[in-house]
Amino acid sequence: MLKLPNVTMVVVETRAHELLRIAALDALSKIDPAEVIIHTDDPKKIAIPGARYIRVTDWESMLLVWKYTVFEAFKTTRTSHALFLEWDAGVANVGSWRDQFLDYDYIGAPWWWTDGKNVGNGGFCLRSKRLTDHLQRDRQSWTDNMICRDNRPRYEREGNFKWAPDDVAHAFAHEHPPGGIKQFNSFGFHDSRNWDGTLDRDEIIRRVRIMVQNLGNGPHYNLETLLHQMPWLRSEVLIPGDCNSWKIPE
């Protein structure tokens, strides 16, 4: 068990309750943060022993979710850093943790840009309290791109905030890079397309069934890509045929 006394786990979820609960419990089987804070509309659906709950509304749009996450969700953290994860993220390899991660104000999986502003994705990320407090006051950034690309140069200049360099960010987390290149030796990951390689077969089946039941078959949830990666999923989870037919077999 990796002890992280300077890190608070923060999650925000009002739709994929069970998937978030599974992802959080899996992460907490590997790491021991100072505290877990769960922002949700239904605490009973995300039952995590010892967690602190903050009840929120079920927002009507992702814009409101993003704004709440950046401007409100981190206010109650008391540690130097917060680890934020979404339902399709998780801890992959605790052996890849580096205390050096805490030297930076923002670390997330690197994107594909090569302009020096490619760190990083927010679905599994580490943010300093110093930066999150600044974002709450600044109120000019509420998406990953706005924080890490559009306004990053200003934050670096005005507040001397530090983003992790590429090599450190790669050690911290991976998402789903172009070309399907997989990397499973980082500390964490984001994107359900990385379940193939980080989870065993039975766990993949369980999560995909829950994903389809709770979230449907929208492109945002990467179902078509999962079926392409793992064709055997059709017989385990979906009615054979077009993936838009997403009824779960009895």
C-alpha to C-alpha distance for 15 and 75, rounded to whole angstroms: 22
For residue 70, give the DSSP letter: H
Residue 131: predicted pLDDT: 98
DSSP annotation of 159:
H
- What stretches of the chain adopt beta strand conformation (E)? 2-13, 31-40, 52-55, 81-85, 89-91, 106-108, 124-128, 173-174, 188-190
pLDDT computed for residue 225 by the predictor: 81
- Is pTM beyond 0.85 here? yes
pLDDT of residue 214: 76
Determine the pLDDT at residue 175.
87
Domain ranges of the chain: 2-195, 200-236
In this structure, are strands 89-91 and 31-40 parallel, antiparallel, or unpaired? unpaired
d(CA 40, CA 54): 7
Query: What is the CATH code of the structural domain delimited by 2-195?
Result: 3.90.550.10
Walking along the chain (250 residues) 10 residues at a time, the average pLDDT comes out as 98 95 98 98 97 96 95 96 97 96 97 90 97 97 96 95 96 74 79 89 93 68 81 75 44
- DSSP class of residue 174 equals E
